[in-house]
Amino acid sequence: MTLVDTPATLTGGPALAQERRLVTAIPGPRSQELMARKAAAVASGVGHTLPISVVAAGGGVIVDADGNSLIDLGSGIAVTGVGNSAPRVVEAVTAQLNSFTHTCFTVSPYEGYVAVAEKLNELTPGDHVKRTALFNSGAEAVENAVKIARHFTKKQAVVAFDHAYHGRTNLTMGLTAKNIPYKSGFGPFASEVYRAPLSYPFRDGGLSGAEAAAKAISVIEKQIGAENLAAIIIEPIQGEGGFIVPAQGFLAALVEWAAKNDVVFIADEVQTGFARTGAWFASEHEGIVPDLVVAAKGIAGGLPLSAVTGRADIMDSAMAGGLGGTYGGNPLACAAALATIETYEEDGLLERAREIGAVLIGRLNALRTADPRIGDVRGRGAMVAIELVDPATGAPDAALTNAVAKYAHANGVVVLTCGTYGNVIRFLPPLTISDELLIDGLSVVAEGLKNA
């Protein structure tokens, strides 16, 4: 591959000029053209954060059809940790593309799938015997984790938490907490899904991890009963719910309770996994070993792949044919995953995630000292957010959040918002971003706050 020799404006990947460059207003004329076609052809329910037409992306930038180069602080929602069109990924997928594109692993298997399973068994927390099954999307993997837990325990109830996000399919909508836009009008939802309170240090009056866990466990015992409960599913850091880092010890207490009560503990690491937080999986920061780990987003450099990895006795419970699908573990996605994992390892990207985290936390805390509308700065590694509030009351300020995000978008910075109350700005840069771009992006967000 000779990516570095290709004209920078015609290809993605690291060859792209790493700069914020606005040559038109956002959206420019070509992007506006695409937006008009989108409105006429694509279902309205499929929204967009920025009204642009992407033609290339790589390193820490996204280039649109009008020639604008935007700083990427979203990674396509925590997916392109290795950057867009990462060289090893391009090379591995191209080679795979030239040998075969699909056979269906459950019809005629191939090595890539098995190699990804071996890697996941090695990289997920715990040194017990593990098995892996591959799927296409995060939601599909979450559904399968619940299927597996139910089959293994011969129980049916599942507990999810306040502020949870687990996907948009029927079961995962039911597990997701937030009504609009994820659930309203889309019911009925799957039965035997229950909700427990979360540890949310900024908003729960500073309960310790143990106190918050005791509260959750009491709800579970009083309202469901361990004898009916197949699984607890939780994100180690709530993603869409607002980058909520639970108090130390909260997750460990839940894991301990689950183990004592024959309840499968499922960590949904779809957003927190794959180097994002400076560890392979965020569970490691809490010293917990989940029974099952769900992975997706950052796993394959942008190709669709997801996985459930966990205890062999649980994973092997389902009968042959009970798990799988036409495309799960597609050969191109597996080739991409192996190259992605190699890139995280060889390029020191776990360490880079921690460095990015230090820059983000340092700069955002400095902003917070001068601006009481930033109520909280939190996160781990390259998964950091600010929660914006009315300084007088602490009430969530979604209008300010939207104004700051809009300002950033108009000035060439891709930032995403999140949170149950819509008042959180989250930072999820590719781990290949330069400090220079990152700092420039943050300065635009700071300007947006000043202007709002």
Ligand X SMILES: *Cc1c(COP(=O)(O)O)cnc(C)c1O
Q: Least CB distance from residue 394 to ligand X, whole Å? A: 26
The reply on whether position 373 binds ligand X by CB under 6 A is no
| Nearest C-alpha neighbor of 30 from the set 62, 5, 54, 4 | 54
Q: How far apart are CA 94 and CA 333, in angstroms?
A: 11
User: What is the closest distance, in whole angstroms, from the C-beta atom of residue 270 to ligand X in the complex?
Assistant: 4
Distance of closest approach, residue 139 Cβ to ligand X, in angstroms: 3
**Residue 270 lies near ligand X (rule: CB under 6 A):** yes
Q: Which residues contact 161 (CB under 8 A, 6 or more apart)?
A: 177, 195, 196, 197, 198, 216, 234, 238
Q: Is 426 in the site for ligand X (CB under 6 A)?
A: no
Which residues from 294-333 bind ligand X, rule CB under 6 A? 296
d(CA 132, CA 312) in angstroms, rounded, equals: 8
Question: Could you tell me the smallest distance in angstroms from the CB atom of residue 29 to ligand X?
Answer: 31
* CA-based nearest residue to 150, from 266, 256, 252: 266
User: Is position 166 an interface residue for ligand X (rule: CB under 6 A)?
Assistant: yes
Query: Applying CB under 6 A, does 283 fall inside the site for ligand X?
Result: no
Q: Does 93 bind ligand X (CB under 6 A)?
A: no
Nearest-angstrom CA–CA distance, 35 and 131: 44
Cβ burial 407-418 (10 Å sphere, 16+ → b, else e): bbbebbbbbbbb
* Of the residues 85, 137, 153, 432, which one makes contact with ligand X according to CB under 6 A: 137
Piece of the chain touching ligand X by CB under 6 A; list 96-104, 133-141, 187-195, 383-391: 133-141
The pair of structure tokens assigned to 255 is 């894991």
Q: Shortest distance, CB of residue 30 to ligand X, whole angstroms?
A: 28
432-448 burial, b at 16+ Cβ within 10 Å, e below that, comes to bbeeebbebbbebbbeb
148 lies in the site for ligand X, by CB under 6 A: no
For every residue of 333-352, DSSP letters joined together read HHHHHHHHHHHHHHTTHHHH
| Spatial distance between the Cα atoms of 215 and 265, rounded to a whole number of angstroms | 17
Is 291 near ligand X (CB under 6 A)? no
Binding status of residue 167 toward ligand X by CB under 6 A:
yes
What number of helices (H) and strands (E) belong to the chain?
Answer: 13, 15
Find the helix packing angle between 331-346 and 87-99, rounded to 10°. Answer: 150
List the structure tokens of 363: 């700069």
Torsion of CA 335, 337, 342, 347, to 10 degrees: 130
The residue from 72, 143, 162, 268 that contacts ligand X (CB under 6 A) is 268
Contacts of ligand X in 225-264 (CB under 6 A): 235, 239
Three-class DSSP category at 307: strand
Span from 50-58, 94-102, 267-275, 396-404 in contact with ligand X (CB under 6 A): 267-275
Stretch that binds ligand X, among 11-19, 131-139, 195-203, 434-442 (CB under 6 A): 131-139
**Encoded amino acid at 200, one letter:** Y
Please identify, using beta-carbon distances, which residue of 64 and 268 lies nearer to ligand X.
268
The residue from 56, 139, 350, 446 that contacts ligand X (CB under 6 A) is 139
| Residue 271 interacting with ligand X (CB under 6 A) | yes
- How many beta carbons lie within 10 A of that of residue 404, not counting itself? 26
- Which span (144-152, 250-258, 268-276, 352-360) binds ligand X, by CB under 6 A? 268-276
User: Which residue is at the shortest CB distance from ligand X?
Assistant: 138
For ligand X, the closer of residues 67 and 422 by Cβ is: 422
Cβ 306 to ligand X shortest distance, Å: 6
Residue among 59, 87, 138, 290 that touches ligand X (CB under 6 A): 138
Chain positions contacting ligand X, by CB under 6 A: 137-139, 142, 165-167, 235, 239, 268, 270-271, 296
